[in-house]
Structure 1
Amino acid sequence: MTLEAAADANYGSTASGSSFYAAMRILPREQREAMFQIYSFCRQVDDIADSDGPREARLAALQQWRDDIDALYQGRAPARLRDYAATVKKFGLRREDFLAIIDGMEMDVPADIRAPDMATLDLYCDRVASAVGRLSVRVFGMPEEDGLLLAHHLGRALQLTNILRDIDEDAGLGRLYLPREALLHAGITSDDPVKVAAERALPKVCLPLADRAKRHFEQADEVMKRNSRRAVRAPRIMEKYYRAILELLLARGFAAPREPVRVGKLARIAIILRYAII
């Protein structure tokens, strides 16, 4: 899963789709088209990882994407990436970031992720979210150092928020992204996603993860404050949208049963008006 985690880690969700499209539609045409190319790439590899096809076939399909990315950077772009050549050149997009996204998607394929240790979870967030951010900040035109910092912090903030939002949905897919150390600290020894989702001690796992997401949001905010408003309009909209989701999750709590949370239409419009137009 990925940007809207810097797209969103859950491409199938209507809510996440709306935040991405709202943020990207305000960009100038060349930037907007580049971002939709990045989104299309992420969605296609995400769909492979999340499909119910044989694992061997999914691994082969992801390897084909690696081969196609290599060919793109060798000047032999395959048909499905032909339009990317000009974008890669214009914005200086890095091959390593495209490959990192594929690597992140592949982490769910050999076996479903279940209670990774914190280091593995952070690597997953870097690949499926911050790597997308590293491509995106080049399109936005941010300075190199601050762009990398923003991708690091905002990508992790968005991805952790997605994980906290999607506990029950992920459990239904046999996946559990909550870190093993936090589960054990709360006295939860199972890594069965459905059992963990029903645990009474689950808030003890989720609240520290929410605090970690909030710290990443705060650090991302510091980076955006010192950069051009125009350069950070799109990531600012996604930051505000996902911060609102995190606040709704905290207000609802993490004890079962959990009702889905969604940022209301008026709140979404207010974010867009404030950061895209006014």
Structure 2
Amino acid sequence: MKPIDYCREKAQASGSSFLAGFKFLSAKQQDAMLVLYAYCRELDDIVDECSDVNVARQTLAWWRSDLEKVFQAACVPEHPVNQALQSVAADFVLPQDELVELINGMEMDLHHVRYQTFEDLQYYCYRVAGVVGRLIARILGFQHQQTLEYAEKLGLALQLTNIIRDVGEDARMGRIYLPMDELQQFNVPAHTILSYTPTPEFAALMRFQFERAQQIYREAVALLPDADKKSQKAGLVMGSIYHALLLEIERDGLQNVLQYKIKIPSPRKMRIALWTWLFGFKP
């Protein structure tokens, strides 16, 4: 199997919203997005599926070593995703340090199951989502450096949407990503979340999370320079799909994230993608 075919199978098996906005791109850009997604998915699977923390940490260390080979022209990486990434990184000038930061972010999941403040959470989000936004912006192309700031902030908005959506699922793994000082502010003990018990206080906490995520979507889009709106349109499509997910969670009742995971059906994703491609994204 060719490395790109491995990446394609990895992406198709996920059913993620991540790739829905990229069907309008050139074949070369689509392949680059597939490779980037497969890279993220492989790292995420190590953390989620490996029950032994030491084994997971060793596996991530192996990925660091194999990633080094991506940036050495005389070397061939061992993993098919990194083999595919080697040409993508060269073609789109993807910085090694941003790809390393993704590994750093995944490693945080091995020893951080709580974040004390939103500032602490933002640092994690930068590593697992902000740098992804920056890498996507590089693949799509841009003229202004401010576009990287937009992409990083949009990545934060998407990750906060994931955190809101996954409160119950994360609790089942003993994780709480909502900042602990905000739980205290809204009088929500950790056991309320870990026991999946909706309360009026939890509803108020989630309303606060929702409104902050909404504001960050607006701030992100406002940062995008007009000159780069056309080239970055596929990223805006992805942002629009995740924003629709955030609104769907709010319509469903923010407390329900403790009980089940909200999803946007694929046909609706494609309608959102087409609408955004034609008319833009205004959160």
- Matched residues in 2 for 1:68 and 1:27: separation? 29
How many residues matched?
A: 266
Q: Cα–Cα, structure 1 residues 192 and 102, in superposed 2: closer, same or farther, change >3 Å?
A: farther
Residues 87-236 of structure 1 correspond to what in structure 2 (within 5 A)?
Answer: 87-110=88-111, 113-190=113-190, 193-195=193-195, 198-224=198-224, 226-236=226-236
Instruction: Summarize deviations over 1:79-137 as a string: whole Å, max 9, x none.
Output: 322332222122110011111111111111135x1344222210111011011111111
Q: Tell me, in whole angstroms, the C-alpha distance in 2 between the residues paired with 1:183 and 1:56.
A: 30
Deviation at 1:192, TM superposition (A): 7.1
The 3 A distance-change label for structure 1 pair 62 and 192 is farther
Distance 2:106 2:129 in 1: 10
Deviations 1:135-176 (Å, cap 9, x if unpaired)? 111000023523311222111111101111111111111111
Question: Residues 53 and 195 (structure 1 numbering): CA distance in 2 closer, same or farther, change over 3 Å?
Answer: closer
Q: Structure 1 residues 156 and 15, CA, compared in 2 at 3 Å: closer, same or farther?
A: farther
Q: Which residue of 2 aligns with 1:78?
A: 77
Query: Shift of residue 237 of structure 1?
Result: 1.2
Structure 2 unaligned residues grouped into runs of 5+: 1-9
Deviates more, 1:191-200 or 1:124-133: 191-200
Which has the higher mean CA deviation after the structures are superposed, 188-197 or 165-174?
Answer: 188-197
Contact 1:103–1:127 under 8 Å retained in 2: yes
Are 2:37 and 1:39 equivalent residues in the alignment? yes
Once the 2 structures are TM-superposed, how far is the Cα of residue 276 of structure 1 from its aligned partner?
A: 3.6
2:52 — aligned with what? 54
Cα 1:161–1:144 shift into 2, 3 Å: same
| Aligned partner letter, 1:78 | P
Indicate conservation of the 8 Å contact 2:20/2:270, yes or no. no
Instruction: Quote the Cα distance in structure 1 between the aligned partners of 2:133 and 2:199.
Output: 34
- Mapped contact 2:240–2:276 kept (Cα < 8 A): no
From 21, 31, 54, the equivalent of 1:23 is 21
Report runs of 4+ in structure 1 exceeding 6 Å deviation: 12-16
The 8 Å contact of residues 178 and 205 in structure 1, kept in 2 or not, is answered as: no
Task: Give the whole-Å Cα distance in 2 for the aligned partners of 1:14 and 1:208.
Answer: 34
Q: What is the rounded CA distance, in whole Å, between the counterparts of 1:260 and 1:13 in structure 2?
A: 20
Report the CA distance shift for 1:232/1:25 in structure 2 as closer, same or farther (over 3 A): same
RMSD over aligned Cα atoms: 2.6
TM-score normalised according to structure 2 size: 0.84
Normalising by the residue count of structure 1, what TM-score does the alignment of the two structures yield? 0.86
